[in-house]
Structure 1
Amino acid sequence: MGEDSTIQEQAILEDLLRACRRNWGWQVREVVPIKRGWMNLKWRIVTDEGDFLLKQYNRERYKLYAPDDLQFAFEQQSRLHDTGLPCPRPLAHQDRILLESERGERFMVMPFCAGELVPPGRGNTDRMHSLGRATGLMHRLLNDGSIGRAASGPQFRPPAREERLVHWDAVRAQAAAAGRGELVAAIERQRRTTETITLDAFKPLRTGWAHRDLWADNVLFGESKVSAILDFDRLKYDYPPLDMARAILSYALDETLDVLPAEAFVAGYREECSLGEGELTAALQLLWYLESPWWITAEKRVRGTPPERFAKEMEWMATHMERLRERLGHL
Structure 2
Amino acid sequence: MEDKIIADLIESYGITFNQMTSITGGLLNQKWRISTEKGELLVKQYSTKRFRRESIELIESRLQRQISLEKNGVPCPFLWQSGDRVIRWLDDETAYMVMDFCSGKTETSDTISIAQMRSLGSTCAVMHRGFSQLSAHSDKNLPVFGGYTMDLLWKNFNSRMLKCSPDTPIEYRKALLALEPIMKQLSAEFFDKLPKGFAHEDFHSGNILFDEDCVSAVVDFDRNCYSYIWHDIGRAILSFALEGNRMNLEKVYAFLEGYSQHSALTLPDIADALRLTWCIEIPWWIQPEFFKECDEIPKRFKDEMLWLTEHWLEIDSLLGIK
TM-score past 0.5 threshold: yes
Alpha-carbon distance, 1:251 to partner: 0.9
Amino acid at match of 1:306: I
Give the corresponding residue for 1:266. 256
Deviations 1:77-129 (A, max 9, x none): 11211111111110001221111125631111100011001135543211111
Give the corresponding residue for 2:302. 311
Give the corresponding residue for 1:214. 203
Question: Does the aligned pair in 2 maintain the 1:42–1:56 contact within 8 Å?
Answer: yes
Question: Does the aligned pair in 1 maintain the 2:9–2:16 contact within 8 Å?
Answer: no
Which deviates more from structure 2 when the two are superposed, residues 237-246 or residues 93-102?
93-102
Give the corresponding residue for 1:150. 138
Question: Does the aligned pair in 2 maintain the 1:301–1:308 contact within 8 Å?
Answer: no
* 1:128 and 2:117 matched: yes
Amino acid at match of 1:275: L
Listed as ranges, the gaps of 5+ residues in structure 2 are none
Distance 1:264 1:155 in 2: 30
Distance 2:210 2:275 in 1: 27
Alpha-carbon distance, 1:39 to partner: 1.8
The 5-angstrom pairing of residues 110-259 of structure 1 reads 110-144=99-133, 146-155=134-143, 158-160=148-150, 164-165=153-154, 167-168=156-157, 170-172=159-161, 174-255=163-244, 256-259=246-249
* 1:48 and 2:37 matched: yes
Which deviates more from structure 2 when the two are superposed, residues 108-117 or residues 92-101?
92-101
Distance 1:264 1:28 in 2: 42
Rate the CA distance shift 1:64–1:297 in 2: closer, same or farther, 3 A.
farther
Aligned positions, number? 318
Give the corresponding residue for 1:281. 271
Give the corresponding residue for 1:325. 316
Question: Does the aligned pair in 2 maintain the 1:115–1:221 contact within 8 Å?
Answer: yes
TM-score normalised to structure 1 length: 0.88
Give the corresponding residue for 2:15. 26
Rate the CA distance shift 1:102–1:155 in 2: closer, same or farther, 3 A.
closer
Distance 2:138 2:253 in 1: 34
Distance 1:167 1:79 in 2: 35
Amino acid at match of 1:262: V
Rate the CA distance shift 1:170–1:25 in 2: closer, same or farther, 3 A.
closer
Amino acid at match of 2:258: G
Seq. identity, %: 28
Deviations 1:137-184 (A, max 9, x none): 11111102x3232233433674437x7456435534544421522322
Listed as ranges, the gaps of 5+ residues in structure 1 are 1-11
Distance 1:173 1:121 in 2: 38
For residue 61 of structure 1, the aligned residue among 30, 47, 50 is: 50
Rate the CA distance shift 1:121–1:238 in 2: closer, same or farther, 3 A.
farther
Amino acid at match of 2:19: E
Alpha-carbon distance, 1:293 to partner: 1.3
Amino acid at match of 1:252: A
Rate the CA distance shift 1:33–1:301 in 2: closer, same or farther, 3 A.
farther
Question: Does the aligned pair in 2 maintain the 1:207–1:239 contact within 8 Å?
Answer: yes
Give the corresponding residue for 2:65. 76
Question: Does the aligned pair in 1 maintain the 2:119–2:215 contact within 8 Å?
Answer: yes
TM-score normalised to structure 2 length: 0.90
Distance 1:98 1:250 in 2: 30
Question: Does the aligned pair in 2 maintain the 1:220–1:229 contact within 8 Å?
Answer: yes
Instruction: Indicate the SS of the match to 1:249.
Output: helix
Give the corresponding residue for 2:284. 294
Distance 1:86 1:278 in 2: 28
Alpha-carbon distance, 1:66 to partner: 3.5
Rate the CA distance shift 1:79–1:292 in 2: closer, same or farther, 3 A.
same
The 5-angstrom pairing of residues 87-126 of structure 1 reads 87-102=76-91, 104-126=93-115
